[in-house]
Amino acid sequence: MTDIFENYSVKNESTFKIGGIVKKAAFPHTIEEMVNLLNSNEYDIVLGSCSNILFSSGKIDKNIIFTKHIKDYKFEDPKLTVSCGTKGALISKECRERALTGFEFLIGFPGSFGGMIYMNASAHNQSISDCFVSARLFDIKNAKIINFNKDDMNFSYRKSGLLNGNYILLDAVFELKEGSKAAIEELMQRNIEFRKLRQPSLSFGNAGSIFKNPVNDSAGRLLDLAGTKEEKSGGAAVFEKHANFIINKNNATSFDVVNLMYKMYSKVKEKYTIELEPEIKYIGNEGTEEYKIWELMTSKNIQTTQK
């Protein structure tokens, strides 16, 4: 049965460990429950593990569906059907046990499949779209369940056909490849070591990469050369080992993070005339100071439908 809470604190839902109070939060346990909520037209946003979400620290005038309890999956080797709230790292381990290759890159991801498909998550020369076959979606405009194949999804770097906000992912089918369990394990270990050396652990609140990579370049490289590693704002600081990460070092607020992002964005723009695009998504109310700062960086990422 769906759990519904009024005036719900979202601070602990986000890996950033930042967030205020939303009007209503609903936690369905099945896809059927989720579809019923979507049909009610009461909810503004659908979120998963919130691993690249920045919630405003203030009151957020929205009703939100969280999918983290919808975590069913079924293997029919080499095919896999997985629900929107299932964690990527769990499926990566299951694939290793079955000697199925294609999802080794997910071993270090805190995200769930709804959000990872939404943004076509990728790392280490692998991406969600590589093994994608089809998905069941909720068509918001027509209030019905539809199916998309891979071509319908229009996958590209950090993009999919879900970004327009017209569809919500319910579950998806993937086709993996048979591989060597030893080789899969070795690749997963390399990926884990890479993340340990270059990325912050979740013991410090963070939301992964802050900015998208520009075409044929690296946001981390540009930020490093622009001298952003020493930057901080309130309780938020740029991670010392990689300039494209912000950590919640000391009870940071959403304003701290947005203000720090703008400093980073401005330094790169001034030095290279390149305007970095945020990879994280911001959820807050229009008219606030931090919202206005966010809009200076982008007007495309104020709202999100699934992450």
Q: How far apart are CA 248 and CA 236, in angstroms?
A: 5
Separation in Å, CA 241 to CA 150, 220, 237, 245: 36, 10, 12, 9
Buried (b) or exposed (e) across 152-167, using 16+ Cβ within 10 A? ebebeebebbbbeeeb
Helix (H, G, I), strand (E, B) or coil at 42: coil
User: Are the beta carbons of 202 and 111 closer than 8 angstroms?
Assistant: no
DSSP H helix total and E strand total for the chain = 9, 18
Active site residues: 158, 209, 279
Supply φ then ψ for residue 271, to 5 degrees. -80, -35
Helix segments in the chain, DSSP class H: 31-39, 88-97, 113-118, 128-131, 150-153, 181-198, 219-225, 254-272, 289-297
Q: Are 27 and 69 in contact (CB under 8 A)?
A: yes
**Distance in Å from the first CA to the final CA of the chain:** 22
